[in-house]
């Protein structure tokens, strides 16, 4: 039988080779009704390949919304943010992997046993069915937190050191990649190399408001620093002309990807 860790590493190389601008831009769908999702799927017009579905949407509409989104031809990043005792997360990850999503998020703060068990279970299920397993991305420190917030929560070190420690836990657990703010991407690549994916929320155009994000950057800076995926929500979905705004982001990605 194919070793699950080797299988997942080979998958990273295959997927990275296929990435283009439309595959690197992931749009976050932060709405709460099926009608809004359908409208958004149509407005985005398949200019990107993957949509991120989060807690608000799943709890409002149920998991059937995944099938609706996929019926428009999109891949799905399910922002489940799994975080519980290892047994619970392992079973949840197994159940989610059967929904046909391409990416799943899990909190690295859950610890190595939780991360490893979830990764192995997903790979085992996928190998037995002859399918690529969904990518498992480890969430590090939320972009809404800064050093002051972490200090108040009892973290001894700042966010950069904390993120590096969590990235190491994710990599030791054979996760496909991590999610961090764009501010840490360059340091993470310098420290741990390129054999994993990095997805970055907290992406804004220079003229946009940071809203509730405290660690953020522009799409071109994030890609230049080494991000594979950039995740964008309100800076696209909150604009009057979503299609034209997507084009702006895609053009910025294409321009820096050639460097």
pLDDT at 142: 81
The C-alpha atoms of residue 16 and residue 14 are separated, in whole angstroms, by 6
DSSP letter for 28, please. Answer: E
The C-alpha atoms of residue 84 and residue 106 are separated, in whole angstroms, by 10
The C-alpha atoms of residue 54 and residue 152 are separated, in whole angstroms, by 27
Angle (CA) 69-72-73 rounded to 5° is: 100
pLDDT at 1: 32
Sign of CA dihedral 165, 185, 247, 13: negative
**CATH T-level assignment (fold) for domain 4-257:** TIM Barrel (3.20.20)
Instruction: Reduce the DSSP state of residue 18 to 3 states and report it.
Output: coil
The C-alpha atoms of residue 214 and residue 85 are separated, in whole angstroms, by 29
Per-residue pLDDT in tens (0 to 9) along the chain, 259 residues? 334 455 455 555 555 556 889 999 999 998 989 999 999 999 999 999 999 999 899 999 999 999 999 999 999 999 999 999 999 999 999 899 888 899 999 999 999 999 999 999 988 887 777 677 899 999 988 878 778 887 888 887 777 888 899 999 999 999 999 999 888 999 999 999 999 999 999 888 766 655 555 566 788 899 999 999 999 998 899 888 999 999 999 999 988 876 5
pLDDT at 256: 83
Q: Active-site residue 81, yes or no?
A: yes
pLDDT at 199: 96
- Say what the pTM is: 0.88
Out of 11, 47, 70, 81, the active site residue is 81
Closest Cα partner for 202 from 222, 175, 223?
A: 222
């Amino acid at each position: 039988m194919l070793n699950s860790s080797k299988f997942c590493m080979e998958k990273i190389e295959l997927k990275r080779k296929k990435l283009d601008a439309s595959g690197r831009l992931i749009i976050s769908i932060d709405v709460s009704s099926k009608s809004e999702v359908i409208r958004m799927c149509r407005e985005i017009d398949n200019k990107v390949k993957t949509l991120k579905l989060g807690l608000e949407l799943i709890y409002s509409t149920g998991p059937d919304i995944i099938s609706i989104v996929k019926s428009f031809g999109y891949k799905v990043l399910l922002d489940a943010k799994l975080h519980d005792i290892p047994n619970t997360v392992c079973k949840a990850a197994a159940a989610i992997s059967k929904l046909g999503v391409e990416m799943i998020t899990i909190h690295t703060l859950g610890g190595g046993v939780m991360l490893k068990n979830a990764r192995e279970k997903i790979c085992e299920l996928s190998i037995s069915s002859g399918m690529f397993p969904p990518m498992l991305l480890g969430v590090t420190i939320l972009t809404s937190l800064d050093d002051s917030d972490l200090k108040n929560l009892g973290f001894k070190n700042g966010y950069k050191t904390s993120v590096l420690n969590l990235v190491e836990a994710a990599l030791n657990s054979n996760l496909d990649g991590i999610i961090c703010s764009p501010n840490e991407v360059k340091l993470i690549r310098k420290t741990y190399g390129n054999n994993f994916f990095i997805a970055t929320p907290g992406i804004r155009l220079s003229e946009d408001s940071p809203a509730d994000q405290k660690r953020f950057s522009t799409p071109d800076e994030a890609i230049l620093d080494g991000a594979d995926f950039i995740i964008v929500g309100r800076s696209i979905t909150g604009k009057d002309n979503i299609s034209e705004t997507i084009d702006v982001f895609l053009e910025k990605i294409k321009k820096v990807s050639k460097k």
